[in-house]
Amino acid sequence: MDLPNPLIVGAGPLGDELDTVRALEDAGAAMLVRRSLYEEEITGEQMDGFRASEAHNGLSAEAETFAPDPETALGPDEYLEQLQAIKAAVAIPVIASLNGSTRGGWLSYAALLEQAGADGLELHIYHAASDMTASAAEVERHAVDIVAVVTGGLGIPVAVKLSPMLTAFANFAKQLDRAGADGLVLFTRFHHVDIDAEELEVVRTLPLSDSSELSLRLRATAALAGRVDASIAVTGGVHTGLDVIKATMAGAHAVQMVSALLRHGPARLRTVRQDVEVWMVEHDWASLGAMRGNMSLERIPDPAAYERANFRMALR
Ligand SMILES: Cc1cc2nc3c(=O)[nH]c(=O)nc-3n(C[C@H](O)[C@H](O)[C@H](O)COP(=O)(O)O)c2cc1C
């Protein structure tokens, strides 16, 4: 997709209110990703047909990632209605996000989202790493299969949002790329889990991020830049104009922001955009395209700078 600037509003609650969506567009957001529609939220009745014919093999994001609380979760009808309302309210592209677990579930709901007017689809893929029955190769094969089925069945661009916890990240990303993913979104951010030792409860929180989360994404983006056909978007830890510059230098085509906008409001997007422009003028960069990937693994003279072997140097 050809965007006027690289600032995308990432999946989450920011698309819930039309006024907020309009304010984000006014502030210069190039695109908006809706919160995920979770296959688990799709009513049992609607999914029974699929579940009966397909094994539920553990690609369930719901349990571990952004499972919306039942109060705010949207059923599929409501999700489609909201998508149409947002499309009618703003001119920027609106991307639907789908988090499913069965092959049939992904495809059938992806098609409904396309019909409802989504300009693109973000597949939020996650496998519970505590599952002892599935090998890394099986998990990857299933995910690649889903991506191939969805991209093959849709006319709109499809991006895949990945978990950072993968054994062979670059290889997996390349498989998704070959399977037809138009975009790779790096990375999902997990709930924090803690144990309340008095109450014997597992406590789940989702604190907002800060720029320190960017490091992991920079490394992964730098590893893929120039080596996949898919566009790359960074999500996680993008808070400032300089964060956008760094992501671009690593090789990102776009960034997604959520925490910064939840913390400071939609107008923050305008500030970040202006900061990017000022930085570029001050440092004589004519375009983001010119700097994109200049710090990627392929293009820096010392690729080992991104690698683990540099512990000793970092500690010096
Ligand atoms: C309250 C909240 C809700 C979120 N809901 C979703 C979601 O439904 N689907 C999804 O893929 N990511 C979801 N995310 C993750 C964000 O899209 C984003 O990847 C993550 O917060 C990292 O970006 P940030 O550092 O800019 O916040 C959510 C994040 C927050 C804070």
Sign (positive/negative) of CA torsion 226, 228, 229, 235? negative
In this prediction, residue 53 carries a pLDDT of 39
In this prediction, residue 311 carries a pLDDT of 64
Entry pTM: 0.91
In this prediction, residue 38 carries a pLDDT of 84
In this prediction, residue 44 carries a pLDDT of 53
In this prediction, residue 174 carries a pLDDT of 98
- Torsion angle in degrees (nearest 10) through CA of 276, 278, 282, 288: 30
For residue 94 the two structure tokens come to 């609106």
Q: Each residue's pLDDT tens digit in the chain (316 positions)?
A: 999 999 999 999 999 999 999 999 999 999 999 999 987 666 554 544 444 334 333 333 333 344 445 555 668 889 999 999 999 999 999 999 998 766 667 788 899 999 999 999 999 987 777 888 989 999 899 999 999 999 999 999 999 999 998 889 999 999 999 999 999 999 999 889 999 999 999 999 999 999 999 999 999 999 999 999 999 999 999 999 999 999 999 999 999 999 999 999 999 999 999 999 999 999 999 999 999 999 999 999 988 888 766 566 666 6
Distance 12 CA to ligand 1 centre (A): 5
Residue 183: phi, psi to the nearest 5?
A: -145, 150
Q: Which of 189, 192, 215, 269 to mutate to test the pocket of ligand 1 (most atoms within 8 A of CB)?
A: 189
Amino acid at 39: E
For 315, counting Cβ atoms within 10 Å of its Cβ (0-12 exposed, 13-18 middle, 19+ buried), the class is exposed
Report d(CA 31, CA 56) in Å as an integer. Answer: 33
Distance 48 CA to ligand 1 centre (A): 28
Whether 15 is in the pocket of ligand 1, judged by its Cβ within 6 Å, is no
In this prediction, residue 20 carries a pLDDT of 98
Whether 37 is in the pocket of ligand 1, judged by its Cβ within 6 Å, is no
Beta strand residue intervals within 25-182, DSSP E: 31-38, 94-99, 120-124, 158-162
Report d(CA 182, CA 161) in Å as an integer. Answer: 11
Q: Which atom of ligand 1 is nearest to the CA of 11?
A: 17
Q: Which of 256, 258, 263 to mutate to test the pocket of ligand 1 (most atoms within 8 A of CB)?
A: 258
In this prediction, residue 272 carries a pLDDT of 98
Whether 213 is in the pocket of ligand 1, judged by its Cβ within 6 Å, is yes
